[in-house]
Structure 1
Amino acid sequence: MESHSDDQAPVTYENCDRLAGPFFHGTKAHLRPGDELVPGQVSNFQSGRVMNHIYFTSQVVPAAALGAQLAMALSGLEGDGHVYEVEPLGPFEDDPNVTNKRFPGNPTRSFRSQHPLRIVAELDDWERLPAEQVQAMLASLENLRAEGRDVIED
């Protein structure tokens, strides 16, 4: 994967206003337009961990789709979850958990904010990832946990 190009310079709290969206969030939660996602909620990915940020992306597939499908699977719930178009209500930055750690640059266009995200609309026709891909990610997460490397920089 490639690193940031000139039009994809690192996104910081100071320059995030140059990105207009649309932005998306995948989750297990049933929400309606106007609802807000706020920091301080328990993580879908680490049991008992309260998150300081809200995470989102400008890519429905794979990022938001994977978030929705993993949240459901990790919760032991049936179904694919929900993907919402969201509006950040404050500044945001590149997600340090993927940017230059798992991938050079930010090819998943993943971001985080300490401010709420407002739900704009639910997407009904988003592309689901194949079950094998979701299972592979679940296995990868389990391996990271077993090795003590399931760290979320939050």
Structure 2
Amino acid sequence: MKTNSKEQRAFQATPFSQTYFHGTKANLKMGDYIETGRDSNYGQRETATYIYLSATLDAAIWGAELAFGDGTEKIYVVEPTGPIEDDPDLTDRKFPGNPSKSFRSSHPFKVLGEVTGWQGHDVDQIKTMKDGLAKMMKRGQP
């Protein structure tokens, strides 16, 4: 049976790749790789065994705003070079179902570009979040 091109188009899958973001204060350029083995931007500042990315801009903005350091907050569009998995600190403990679309990997992320012109969170929201994280650190929570 022959179908017309309009019918064929209705049943063909259209491939799209997922966009991922990484929030930080590091100065990176297109083509750089974000890798494990460096001091983490968060928590106890231990050597990072995982690096993190998100499929939502809001989660990446939080990453940039909460990162250690005095540098300028940056959001990069990144491409994982290996498998990624749900971030268990968020998805298993705080936000079941992964609504923030937060992931981690032990494989590098390639920087594809930088997001500019994004709107950060309100100063009071950031202070509340940082205060909450400080309390968790005192209790020994990640």
* TM-score bracket for the superposition, by shorter chain length: 0.7 to 0.9
Runs of 4+ with >6 A deviation? none
Q: 2: CA distance between counterparts of 1:65 and 1:92?
A: 20
2:26 corresponds to:
29
| Number of aligned positions between the proteins | 128
Q: Say if 2:57 is the partner of 1:65.
A: no
2:128 maps to 136
**1:41 matched residue in structure 2:** 38
Taking structure 2 as the reference length, what is the TM-score of the superposition?
Answer: 0.84
Larger radius of gyration: 2
Q: Which residue of 2 aligns with 1:147?
A: 139
Cα offset, 1:100, TM superposition: 2.6
Q: What is the Cα deviation at residue 78 of structure 1?
A: 5.9
* Matching of residues 67-106 of structure 1 within 5 Å: 67-71=63-67, 74-75=68-69, 77=70, 79=72, 81-106=73-98
Q: Is the 8 A contact 2:20 2:77 kept in 1?
A: yes
TM-score by length of 1: 0.78
Cα RMSD over matched residues? 1.7
For the residues of structure 2 that align with 1:36 and 1:42, how far apart are their CA atoms? Answer: 15
Amino acid corresponding to residue 128 of structure 1 in structure 2: G
Distance 1:146 1:110, change over 3 A: same
Instruction: Give me the whole-angstrom Cα distance separating, in 1, the residues matched to 2:118 and 2:18.
Output: 17
Helix, strand or coil at the partner of 1:121: strand
For structure 2, which runs of at least 5 residues remain unmatched after alignment?
1-14
Unpaired runs of at least 5, structure 1:
1-17
3-state SS of 1:90 partner = coil
1:45 Cα shift? 1.4
- CA offset digits 1:71-118 (Å, max 9, x no partner): 1xx32x164x10000000111111111113101210000001111000
Identity %: 38
Cα pair distance change 1:44/1:19, threshold 3 Å:
farther
SS of equivalent residue, structure 2 residue 75: strand
CA pair 69-53 structure 1, distance change in 2 beyond 3 A: same
Q: Is the Cα–Cα contact under 8 Å of residues 25 and 71 in structure 2 kept in the other structure?
A: no
What is the CA–CA distance in structure 2 between the aligned matches of 1:129 and 1:97, rounded to whole Å? 22
